[in-house]
Structure 1
Amino acid sequence: MATKRIKAPGLAWQILIGLILGIVLGALLHNHPETRDWAVGSILQPAGDIFIRLIKMIVVPIVISSLIVGIAGMGDAKKLGRIGLRTILYFEVITTIAIVIGLLLANLFHPGSGIDMSSLSTVDISSYTETTKEVEQGHGFADTLLSLIPTNVVAALANGDMLAIIFFSVLFGLGLAGLPNELRDPFLTIMRGTSEAMFRVTNMIMRYAPIGVFALIAVTVANFGFSSLIPLIKLVALVYAAILFFALVILGGIARVCGINIFTLIRILKDELLLAYSTSSSETVLPRIMKKMEDFGAPKAITSFVIPTGYSFNLDGSTLYQSIAAIFLAQLYGIDLSIGQQITLVVTLMVTSKGIAGVPGVSFVVLLATLGSVGIPLEGLAFIAGVDRIMDMARTALNVVGNALAAIVIAKWDGSYDANKGEHYFETRAEEKVARRERREARREHRRTHD
Structure 2
Amino acid sequence: MKMNRLTTWIGIAMVLGIVVGYACHALAPTPAAAKEIAGYFSILTDIFLRLIKMIIAPLIFATLVAGLANMGDSKTVGRIGAKALGWFVGASFCSLFIGLLLANLLQPGAALAVPLPESAAGLNLKTGALNLKDFITHVFPKSIVEAMGANEVLQILVFAVFFGLALGHLHNQTARSLVNTMDEIVHVMLKVTDYVMRFAPFGVFGAVAGAITTQGLGMLLVFGKFMASFYIALAVLWAILIGAGYLVLGKDIFRLLKLVRSPMLVGFSTASSESVYPKLMEQLEKFGIKNRVTGFVLPLGYSFNLDGSMMYTTFLALFIAQAYDIPMTLTAQITMLLVLMVSSKGIAGVPRASLVVVAAVLPMFGLPEAGLLLVLGIDHFLDMGRTVTNVLGNAIATSVVAKWEGAIDPVPEALAEADEALPVPDEPVAQPA
TM-score by length of 2: 0.91
Name the residue aligned to 1:202: 193
1:14 matched to 2:9? The reply is yes
1:98 matched to 2:95? The reply is yes
Distance 1:411 1:11, change over 3 A: same
Structure 1 counterpart SS, 2:367: coil
Letter of the 2:37 counterpart: A
Name the residue aligned to 1:40: 38
Name the residue aligned to 1:57: 54
User: Which of the residues 124, 128, 133 maps onto 2:124?
Assistant: 128
Name the residue aligned to 1:88: 85
Correspondence list, 1:17-416, <5 A: 17-34=12-29, 36-41=34-39, 43-118=40-115, 126=122, 128-129=124-125, 131-135=126-130, 139-140=131-132, 142-260=133-251, 262-416=253-407
Structure 1 counterpart SS, 2:103: helix
Distance 1:387 1:44, change over 3 A: same
CA distance in 1, matches of 2:394, 2:420: 30
CA distance in 2, matches of 1:9, 1:247: 23
Shift of 1:255: 2.5
Deviations 1:31-80 (A, max 9, x none): 23356344323x31111110011111111110000000111011121011
Distance 1:126 1:374, change over 3 A: same
Name the residue aligned to 2:431: none
Preserved CA contact (<8 Å) 1:99 1:319: yes
Shift of 1:125: 6.4
CA distance in 1, matches of 2:295, 2:119: 39
CA distance in 2, matches of 1:248, 1:410: 19
Distance 1:174 1:58, change over 3 A: same
Distance 1:323 1:149, change over 3 A: same
Distance 1:247 1:221, change over 3 A: same
Deviations 1:389-417 (A, max 9, x none): 11110110011011011111101122322
Letter of the 2:13 counterpart: G
Distance 1:158 1:28, change over 3 A: same
Deviations 1:399-445 (A, max 9, x none): 10110111111011223222x33xx2x22135x4699xxxxxxxxxx
Shift of 1:303: 0.6
What 5-or-longer segments of structure 1 have no aligned partner?
A: 1-6, 436-451
CA distance in 1, matches of 2:290, 2:73: 14
Larger Rg: 1
CA distance in 1, matches of 2:262, 2:60: 20
CA distance in 2, matches of 1:28, 1:263: 39
CA distance in 1, matches of 2:288, 2:189: 20
Structure 2 counterpart SS, 1:126: coil
Name the residue aligned to 2:427: none
Preserved CA contact (<8 Å) 2:120 2:370: no
CA distance in 1, matches of 2:420, 2:358: 48
Structure 2 counterpart SS, 1:117: coil
CA distance in 2, matches of 1:237, 1:285: 25
Quote the sequence identity (%). 38
Aligned residue pairs, count: 417
Preserved CA contact (<8 Å) 1:51 1:212: yes
Structure 1 counterpart SS, 2:276: helix
Shift of 1:326: 0.6
What 5-or-longer segments of structure 2 have no aligned partner?
A: 422-433
Preserved CA contact (<8 Å) 2:49 2:275: yes
Distance 1:256 1:125, change over 3 A: farther
Letter of the 1:403 counterpart: N
Distance 1:9 1:70, change over 3 A: closer
Shift of 1:254: 2.9
Shift of 1:273: 1.1
Q: Which structure features the higher share of helix residues?
A: 1
Preserved CA contact (<8 Å) 1:317 1:399: yes
Letter of the 1:26 counterpart: G
CA RMSD of the aligned region, Å?
A: 2.2
Structure 2 counterpart SS, 1:180: coil
Shift of 1:8: 11
CA distance in 2, matches of 1:8, 1:258: 24
Preserved CA contact (<8 Å) 2:320 2:371: yes
CA distance in 2, matches of 1:204, 1:399: 24
Preserved CA contact (<8 Å) 1:248 1:262: no
CA distance in 2, matches of 1:8, 1:185: 34
TM-score by length of 1: 0.87
Letter of the 2:113 counterpart: D
